[in-house]
Chain A
Amino acid sequence: MKQIIDKWGKSIGIYLFLMILFPFVMPDEYYRSVGIIIGLQAIVTIGLCLVMGLAGQISLGQASFWGIGAYTSAVLTTKYGLPPFVGLIAAAVVPGLFAFILGRAIAGLQGYYLAMATLAFGYIVQIGITEWESVTGGANGMISIPQMTFFGGSELSMYFLIWGVVTCVLLFSLNLLNSRVGRAFRAIHKSEIAATSMGIDVRKFKLNAFVVSGMFAGISGGLYAHYMGILDPQPFGLHESIKFLTMVVIGGMTSIWGALIGTILIGFISEGLILLGEVVPGLQGDVDTIVFGAILVLIIMFMPEGLVPRIRAAFEKGQAKKAKAMADDAQRKQQVERKAAT
């Protein structure tokens, strides 16, 4: 923990400041709810970032873990009357279990094959939710899911509850990145054979990353269910999975901060498009999908490492330039002084 504060103290400070400031600058309930949704998505994308950026795997089914989490908590609380807190724990455990079984089954797959397998899993889950009417309410969905009563249950308290979870997830992931485990993941990402030669159990590490990402998505799903109060299978499909993927890629796969910033950016762009749609009549409907697709293509063409690593590199280059300029100045000064002395 001390190490992350040393390394990322400044970034964490800025993050906390902006996060706490946001709902007060935007006193509008609507924008607070936008903030909540972005937070929920950030929990998923940080988990996805662990799978993609660290373990070098790809998941096109992240929305399905999100959905499993949402429905687990919703069914347990609505049908069986359990408190939302218990529902949330189940919302972490059950998707984690699914991720474990899926991860075990597809452990040998890589690249396209892994993408296809997770894609298929995503479809199976969405279809399963739709068809299992007796439990999930099918395509009609579920209503009157109990709200979380967290400090009165207002929009503002919900905002802080969710961003509190985001902060925990963020710190956990940064800590992981900075530990022995993170180092092993980066080694696996570079070369699995060389990592094996170091005595690293590649399969186990990849499976763990997959399970953790599934659990993060599940927690987020559970929170989503209690926040919305209603559920239907529609948001838990491929469209959402791709959206999560886009967020991670834009921010930069190899950086946890990248996942967070990518999520916020996409959230803001969505809102901007909605505002723009009110002014420009042609910009309604699924324009956001087109825009996100275009952004993804542009990022992959011009900035494949993503925004955050690129900005960091530019910043470090600037620092180096500054340091060099200062050193040059000092040298010149010395020369002048030496000349003056002679």
Chain B
Amino acid sequence: MGKAVLTVDNITARYGPVEVLHGITLQVNEGEIVSLLGANGAGKTTLLNCICGLHGDKEGKIWFRDADITRVPAELVVPRGMAHVPERRQIFSTLTVEDNLWLGASHRMPKTSKKEIAKEMETVYERFPILAERKWQLGGTLSGGQQQMLAIGRALLSRPQLLLLDEPSLGLAPLIAKEILTIVQEIRSEWGTTVLLVEQNARAALAISDRAYVLSTGTVMLEGKADEISNDPRVQSAYLGSSHEAV
């Protein structure tokens, strides 16, 4: 595997007096899809918010490529090449699909010309034809799966080297969730984007990942290659559940 794109070194995070992450260390290498698994409240989203700069109350170090970004505010992390697709997608429901996509590229303008971005937008539309069809519709009128595609497309327009995806399958029908995860895999091969994927749907996430970390109440309980993790008896009993689980 390539060199480290993201290194999280012994991160501790708190909400007021409550410590929710107790020294997390992880690494994402170039070209990998790494999943971050764990039950509700394990600290997955908090960790992601720490990485992208939205959560400030933390100790430890976060390295993105060769730079220390621990104290870099969120809006300045994005131009460095890290895009965050937040939980519940957070698309701008009162703006059109097209405007939502433009916003993804906002930090690159006016340096990059409009024409160039419009060209890239075409490739996004080619990847997600449904978005091209609904260009002028308001973001809020899209279905859950389409909104997720929009959120991913929007993130791609910021030209990320690393894509942070927070529960992309949340609230989606199992088939759509599977489609979204397939898309994530395709994006890695088409764009060469490295992905850190947070998921509750462990089985589906592991199917597309190279490696995985399992969080439990704020610590890394387990880490390793995706197939090793899926075969680990502890994970099978705790997260993959009995065989009748969907997807």
Contact = CB atoms under 8 A, between A and B. Distances in A.
Interface of A: 180, 183-184, 186-187, 190-191, 193-202
Contacts, number: 66
Contact of A193 (B77, B90, B93): B90
Contacts of A180: 102, 106, 109-110
Contact of B102 (A183, A190, A199): A183
A198 B107 CA distance: 7
A195 B103 CA distance: 8
Interface stretch (B17-25, B78-86, B223-231): B78-86
Determine which residue in A198, A200, A201 has the highest number of CB atoms from chain B within 10 A of its CB, and name it.
A198
Given A184-B103, A184-B106, A197-B54, A202 B95 contact: no
Given A197-B84, A200-B75, A183 B94 contact: no
A246 B141 CA distance: 31
Contacts of B106: 180, 183-184, 187, 198-200
In this complex, the interface size class of chain B, counting residues with CB under 8 Å from chain A, is: 20 to 34
B78 A198 contact: yes
B63 interface: no
Nearest to B79: A199
Given A180-B102, A183-B103, A187-B103, A197 B92 contact: no
B99 A201 contact: no
A197 B102 contact: no
B95 A193 contact: no
B145 interface: no
A177 to B, nearest CB: 12
A42 to B, nearest CB: 26
A184 B107 CA distance: 10
Interface of B: 52, 54, 73-79, 84, 86, 90-95, 99, 102-104, 106-107, 109-110, 154, 158
Contacts of A196: 54, 73-75
8 contacts: A180-B109, A180-B110, A186-B94, A186-B95, A196-B54, A197-B84, A197-B90, A202-B75
Contacts of B94: 186, 190
Contact of A194 (B73, B86, B99, B109): B86
A183 B154 CA distance: 14
B93 A190 contact: yes
A184 B78 CA distance: 15
Nearest to B114: A180
Given A196-B54, A198-B103, A183 B95 contact: yes
Given A198-B107, A199-B158, A191 B74 contact: no
Given A187-B103, A199-B79, A199-B107, A194 B92 contact: yes
A199 B109 CA distance: 11
Contacts of B102: 180, 183
A198 B109 contact: no
B92 to A, nearest CB: 5
B112 to A, nearest CB: 11
A183 B103 CA distance: 7
A198 B110 contact: no
Contacts of B84: 197
A180 B98 CA distance: 12
Contacts of B93: 190
B184 to A, nearest CB: 18
Nearest to A191: B90
A193 B75 contact: no
Closest A-B pairs by Cβ, 9 of them: A199-B78, A199-B107, A194-B90, A196-B74, A190-B92, A201-B75, A197-B84, A198-B103, A180-B109
B104 A198 contact: yes
Nearest to B107: A199
B141 to A, nearest CB: 14
Contacts of B77: 199
Contacts of B79: 199
Contacts of A198: 78, 103-104, 106-107, 154, 158
A183 B139 CA distance: 14
Contacts of B54: 193, 196-197
Contacts of B109: 180
B92 A191 contact: yes
A183 to B, nearest CB: 5
B19 to A, nearest CB: 23
B92 A186 contact: yes
A183 B99 CA distance: 7
A177 B138 CA distance: 17
A199 B77 CA distance: 7
Contacts of A202: 75
Nearest to B82: A199
B107 to A, nearest CB: 3
Determine which residue in A184, A187, A193, A195 has the highest number of CB atoms from chain B within 10 A of its CB, and name it.
A187
A183 B54 CA distance: 22
A251 to B, nearest CB: 18
